[in-house]
Chains A and B, each alone.
Chain A
Amino acid sequence: MFKQFTENISGHQAYLLFSLAIFLVFFIVVSIVLFRIRKPHVDHMSQLPLSDNQIDSTNS
């Protein structure tokens, strides 16, 4: 079935490959960023909606 889709856009494979490349590059960059984020920071951020009336004494 997939062959049918690619054949139907024949002559435009370059655009498919180009868009796939952009997607992959973007995805990889964001993934690297994500792996570099430290856990305490993630915990702090995800607690933000739940702590809007608590006073955070270490407000940095």
Chain B
Amino acid sequence: MQPEKFYYDNKIVRNFGIATVIWGIIGMTVGLIAAIQLFHPGANMNNQYTTFGRIRPLHTNAVIFAFVGNAIFMGVYYSLQRLLKARMFSDALSKIHFWGWQLIIVSAVITLPLGLTTSHEYAELEWPIDIAITIIWVVFGINMFGTIFKRRERHLYVAIWFYIATFVTIAVLHIVNSFELPVSAFKSYMVYAGVQDALVQWWYGHNAVAFFLTTPYLGMMYYFLPKMANRPVYSYKLSILHFWALIFIYIWAGPHHLLYTTLPGWAQSLGVAFSIMLIAPSWGGMINGLLTLRGAWDKVRDDVILKFMVVALTAYGMATFEGPMLSLKQVNSIAHFSDWIIAHVHVGALGWNGFLTFGILYWLIPRIYKTELFSKKLASFHFWIGTLGIIFYAVPMYWAGFTQSLMLKEFTPEGMLKYPNFLETTLQILPMHIMRSVGGAMYLLGVIVMAYNLTKTALQGNLLADEPAQAMPLEPLHAVAREASWHRRLERKPIQLMIAALVVILIGTFIELMPTLTISSNIPTIASVKPYTSLELQGRDLYIREGCSNCHSQTVRPFRSETERYGEYSKAGEFVYDHPFLWGSKRTGPDLAREGSKYGNAWHYNHLMDPRLMSPGSIMPGYDWLLTQPLDTTTTKAKINAMRTLGVPYPVGYENQANADLDKQAKAIAADLAKDHIKVKSNKEVIAIIAYLQRLGMDIKANKTANK
């Protein structure tokens, strides 16, 4: 048989490479602006579109789906072709995938600052964009499997398994966490409510980390690291164990994001137990990567690419050791809601994802441009300023997390909270927030230097758009002797491999999600909990639009330090009408679950206008646009109808009187404000959001009063 000649498509790899660098710089710049607002709130330029609550989701989406996403596709399109000895299945699909993905990112850049968000973390994009993501993901899948089917290498290398698991699991996660009922073109309500919504969201959120930030990168590590070190992976058997154990265990660990909440205790315990077990496969993978460099450690001293890879693997090891530790309830009670978590994710994002991406870019761009890297010195500078940037970022955040959490938990000998005012603890950590943004700026500078270095490299070379290659065609299967091991047979059957991976991830998914979604006794109802009034519902949607849940939680954990500070701990039955849940994951400001009637309407009005009037030194941005913008009440009817469809018991026909009700309640609030000499029309947005804030936690309080 004659070898077949064909060409690898390098152009699509290059395009995804350019995209990852550009979006990386944009995403990190947005992150830096957000970070500066946490000690200098005026950095939002007094503009609603650049305020923290709206650009924090833009930052996370940009770095996860634009920077890391494009890097994944760059790595997959390069390695897949070579491991399968075949060009990508369809150039047209490659192009649709590339441009479709960039369009989705652009739509995120437009809609998130406009406040069009579902509020589900890392899944903020509204329903039309969710549909676009699904379509483009399927295009990617067809292109990948098409390539696999026309391959010239019988067996699929472990990197490809990781890619297949990524494809199938992200598809499942995205679909299940996007069950939304559209209200208008860019507004929808989650189908699940309260505890169930929280469980689905953090099953998604945790596994987005697992299957978007981890498995594709492990696949890339298993391909590129042996190439860079010019030696095979330390143990191929360990990589198989790594693969199956990782995808099986990861999917169970989501509930560790909801410890001490009203999620059923058994689900929390299960999440913790599997989180601990995750150390085994994660560290197996890290050790496998580091030992691949056995006998090549002298190269690490001179080769900046290997330096990036070693720091990436070390950061992976640190983050995956820390993760299980954070899931221990005692540790979690301190770390959760604090800056510690921000430090943790950035060790992963900056160290693991960032440095692995940079290592691959420095290795790959000169190769496809048939030239040498423009400047090794600049690359070395990037390595050091990036590494220092990570340290300057993470250490102050750890410090801030410990400090604030311990302050919030401290009691005086008399048994009173030592720092009853939340703001006192915030002011204590502002220097750490400043240092963090310095670390972030250093890291960003490194990326900009890399962009310059890679551009110069590309300019001095010529892109080899179609790289010639040759390989023997595959013999028909009947000519091949039947293989003894069923796993070896599985390695040449991509569809069966995908189904096996799907089954493995669905086991944990079903055992954890199903009882909470189907057995009503897991969520005890509370008779006094009533649906929101139409004005409160509109106010709640403004709360979502402004991204308040990025800084304020709405769940009181059963600790004395929290019940003293905020009030009675949260109950599952309180959230049954919350589509979506708004528990939040970070307390940059205090919890708001029991905010209702804590302050007067006038306090809220002044506080929203300028938080520093009521709380000197506060880092909350002013929301003066809420004072002038009229509330859009044309949506009320559709919202009430949608909520009723989702099971909220609004009486039939209520949608027709909802706006009259809304007016009545708004006028009462405006009249109350007038008593405090605040002149505001009752149709302004601020009235709706005050109504919502004053409702928070009142169902339980009302119950208490009634029982007395």
A46 touches B233 (CB 8 A): yes
How many residues of A sit at the interface, in one of the four size bands? Answer: 35 or more
A45 touches B329 (CB 8 A): no
B271-321 CB contacts (< 8 Å) to partner A = 272-274, 277
15 CB-based A-B contacts, threshold 8 Å: A9-B268, A12-B266, A19-B274, A23-B249, A30-B241, A31-B241, A34-B237, A34-B241, A37-B240, A43-B232, A45-B155, A49-B83, A56-B472, A59-B471, A59-B473
A1-44 CB contacts (< 8 Å) to partner B = 4-5, 8-9, 11-12, 15-16, 18-20, 23, 26-27, 30-31, 33-34, 36-38, 41-44
The number of A-B residue pairs with CB atoms under 8 Å apart is 118
A23 to chain B: closest residue by CB: B277
Given the known A-B contacts A12-B269, A52-B82, A59-B152, are A47 and B485 also in contact in the complex, defined by CB atoms under 8 Å? no
Interface residues as binary, B218-237 with A (CB distance below 8 Å gives 1, 0 otherwise):
00001110110011110011
- Partner of A36 from B152, B159, B485 at Cβ < 8 Å: B485
A26–B232 Cα gap in the complex (Å)?
27
A18–B270 Cα gap in the complex (Å)?
9
Known pairs A9-B265, A16-B269, A56-B472 / 10 extra A-B pairs, C-beta < 8 Å: A5-B328, A12-B265, A12-B269, A19-B252, A30-B241, A36-B487, A48-B153, A49-B232, A50-B230, A56-B153
Q: Which residues of B contact A (CB under 8 A)?
A: 3, 79, 82-83, 85, 152-155, 157-159, 222-224, 226-227, 230-233, 236-237, 240-241, 244-245, 248-249, 252, 265-266, 268-270, 272-274, 277, 328-330, 469-475, 479-480, 484-485, 487-488, 491
Given the known A-B contacts A34-B240, A46-B236, A49-B157, are A55 and B472 also in contact in the complex, defined by CB atoms under 8 Å? yes
- Partner of B270 from A5, A15, A26, A49 at Cβ < 8 Å: A15
A36–B240 Cα gap in the complex (Å)?
12
Chain A contacts of B484 at CB under 8 A?
A: 38
Chain A contacts of B83 at CB under 8 A?
A: 48-49, 52
Chain B contacts of A50 at CB under 8 A?
A: 226-227, 230-232
Chain B contacts of A55 at CB under 8 A?
A: 3, 470-472
Chain B contacts of A46 at CB under 8 A?
A: 226, 232-233, 236
B240 touches A52 (CB 8 A): no
A5–B274 Cα gap in the complex (Å)?
14
Chain B contacts of A52 at CB under 8 A?
A: 82-83, 85, 469
Chain A contacts of B330 at CB under 8 A?
A: 4-5, 8
Q: How far is the CB of A2 from the nearest CB of chain B, in Å?
A: 10
- Partner of B475 from A30, A33, A44, A60 at Cβ < 8 Å: A60
Given the known A-B contacts A36-B485, A49-B223, A52-B85, are A19 and B240 also in contact in the complex, defined by CB atoms under 8 Å? no
A11–B241 Cα gap in the complex (Å)?
32
B269 touches A30 (CB 8 A): no
Q: How far is the CB of A19 from the nearest CB of chain B, in Å?
A: 4
- Partner of A37 from B79, B222, B237, B245 at Cβ < 8 Å: B237
A39–B248 Cα gap in the complex (Å)?
26
Q: How far is the CB of A7 from the nearest CB of chain B, in Å?
A: 11
Q: How far is the CB of A32 from the nearest CB of chain B, in Å?
A: 10
Given the known A-B contacts A49-B223, A59-B473, are A15 and B241 also in contact in the complex, defined by CB atoms under 8 Å? no
A54 to chain B: closest residue by CB: B471
Q: How far is the CB of B218 from the nearest CB of chain A, in Å?
A: 14
- Partner of A59 from B154, B224, B485, B487 at Cβ < 8 Å: B154
Given the known A-B contacts A37-B237, A50-B227, A60-B154, are A9 and B272 also in contact in the complex, defined by CB atoms under 8 Å? yes
Most chain B Cβ neighbours within 10 Å, of A4, A5, A23, A47: A23
Chain B contacts of A45 at CB under 8 A?
A: 155, 157-158, 236, 491
Given the known A-B contacts A30-B245, A49-B226, A50-B230, are A8 and B157 also in contact in the complex, defined by CB atoms under 8 Å? no
Chain B contacts of A37 at CB under 8 A?
A: 237, 240, 485, 487-488
A18–B226 Cα gap in the complex (Å)?
38
Q: How far is the CB of A60 from the nearest CB of chain B, in Å?
A: 5
A45–B237 Cα gap in the complex (Å)?
10
A50–B277 Cα gap in the complex (Å)?
33
A38–B488 Cα gap in the complex (Å)?
9
- Partner of A15 from B153, B155, B269 at Cβ < 8 Å: B269
Chain A contacts of B268 at CB under 8 A?
A: 9
A44–B154 Cα gap in the complex (Å)?
11
Most chain B Cβ neighbours within 10 Å, of A11, A33, A42: A33
Given the known A-B contacts A30-B241, A34-B237, A59-B474, are A49 and B159 also in contact in the complex, defined by CB atoms under 8 Å? yes
- Partner of B329 from A9, A36, A44, A57 at Cβ < 8 Å: A9
A2–B472 Cα gap in the complex (Å)?
57
Q: How far is the CB of A13 from the nearest CB of chain B, in Å?
A: 9
Chain A contacts of B277 at CB under 8 A?
A: 19, 23
B277 to chain A: closest residue by CB: A23
Given the known A-B contacts A34-B241, A37-B488, are A26 and B265 also in contact in the complex, defined by CB atoms under 8 Å? no
B160 to chain A: closest residue by CB: A48
- Partner of B240 from A11, A30, A38, A59 at Cβ < 8 Å: A30
Given the known A-B contacts A33-B487, A49-B157, A59-B471, are A42 and B273 also in contact in the complex, defined by CB atoms under 8 Å? no
Most chain B Cβ neighbours within 10 Å, of A30, A38, A49: A49
Q: How far is the CB of B144 from the nearest CB of chain A, in Å?
A: 17
B244 touches A30 (CB 8 A): yes
Chain B contacts of A27 at CB under 8 A?
A: 245
Q: How far is the CB of A5 from the nearest CB of chain B, in Å?
A: 6
A41 touches B241 (CB 8 A): no
Q: How far is the CB of B245 from the nearest CB of chain A, in Å?
A: 7
Most chain B Cβ neighbours within 10 Å, of A15, A33, A48: A48
Q: How far is the CB of B503 from the nearest CB of chain A, in Å?
A: 12
